[in-house]
Amino acid sequence: MTAKMFEIEGAGLGFRRCMTKTLADIDSSRIDFMEIAPENWIGLGGRFGKAFREYSERFPFVSHGLSLSLGGPTPLDTDFLYQLKTFHKEHNIQGYSEHLSYCSDDGHLYDLMPIPFTADAVKHVAARIRQTQDILEQRIAIENVSYYAAPGAEMSEIDFLTSVLDEADCDLLLDVNNIYVNSVNHGYDAAEFLAQIPGDKISYIHVAGHYNEADDLIVDSHGADVVDPVWVLLQQAYSEFGVKPTLLERDFNIPPIDKLLQEVEQIRSYQFAANTRSINGEVQYASV
């Protein structure tokens, strides 16, 4: 494993099958890159397969996996990884990321389950990340995930995350919405957590919306607009680590494309403001 990927920049959008028509006539300059879940596209033919080919020729793409189960107890699905490697080459996919979680045990669980925050788990998942990188012949990024329980925890979330990054020698897909969700659900300070992230590991950033189940319980739904506290965290990330490529996730309750692209433009406006502040030596955040 040698190649460092994620040669992307700017403001991106998660690509869903329902967008194959709605995005067809937009100005390509409004989206700098796109992201897919490769499991939903590998081997897909027909009109969706044809449409994806056309989009992958118009936009840079990255892939964000759903099913590799990096923390799982059963062997990695190496057949999938070789299919993924071929798929990436066919469509010039710029990089691959996966969740720091698991979703299988002799069968798929159809949910992203939390990995215990333990030293043994660090070694287990890091070895699986290194195996993945060796097969793909490139670095991958792991995403800090939302979680609702921490069974068997022996260390903090931030210590677990940074230990995995160091042990695996991989990159980070920083999800600022997940930091906010976890900060509410587990009662910690989101800004303090973000400040402890190793910025040199960040490949790109996710922002998304969520669902407020109760005052002390947020569900990471990707089905609503991004809220102001998450926008503030994004700006803090730019201030702490410099401007990074940033992607908007929206999985359901998808609004008309012009409204969706307003949030992509909001990302771009914060990137521009952060770059301007950097030039002028200022630190204050833009208004939300």
Q: Give me the pLDDT at residue 5, please.
A: 64
Q: Give me the pLDDT at residue 285, please.
A: 53
- Taking the CA atoms of residue 39, residue 42, residue 45 and residue 47 in that order, the dihedral angle to the nearest 10 degrees is 60
Higher pLDDT, 106 or 126: 126
The strand pair at 61-64 and 33-36 is best described as parallel
100 within a domain of the structure (yes/no): yes
pLDDT reading at 154 higher than 80: yes
CA 87 to CA 39: how far, in whole Å? 10
Higher pLDDT, 164 or 152: 164
From 4-13, 81-90, 160-169, 198-207, the region with the lowest mean pLDDT = 4-13
Higher pLDDT, 165 or 214: 165
User: Could you give the number of structural domains in the chain?
Assistant: 1
Q: Give me the pLDDT at residue 82, please.
A: 98
CA 23 to CA 39: how far, in whole Å? 21
CATH number of the domain residue 272 falls in: 3.20.20.150
Query: What's the helix, strand, coil split of the chain in %, to 5?
Result: 45, 20, 40
Q: Give me the pLDDT at residue 142, please.
A: 97
- Taking the CA atoms of residue 240, residue 115, residue 69 and residue 99 in that order, the dihedral angle to the nearest 10 degrees is -20
Higher pLDDT, 52 or 111: 52
Parent domain of 262: 11-280
What is the average pLDDT across 126-151?
93
CB-CB contact of 142 with 106 (8 Å): no
Collapsed DSSP state (helix, strand, coil) of residue 248? strand
CB-CB contact of 174 with 142 (8 Å): no
pLDDT in tens, 180-207: 999 999 999 999 999 999 999 999 999 9
pLDDT reading at 287 higher than 80: no
pLDDT band at 152 (very low <50, low <70, confident <90, very high): confident
208 within a domain of the structure (yes/no): yes
CA 173 to CA 183: how far, in whole Å? 18
Closest CA to 173 of 106, 103, 95: 95
Mean pLDDT, the chain, integer: 90
What phi and psi, each to the nearest 5 degrees, are found at residue 173? -95, 105
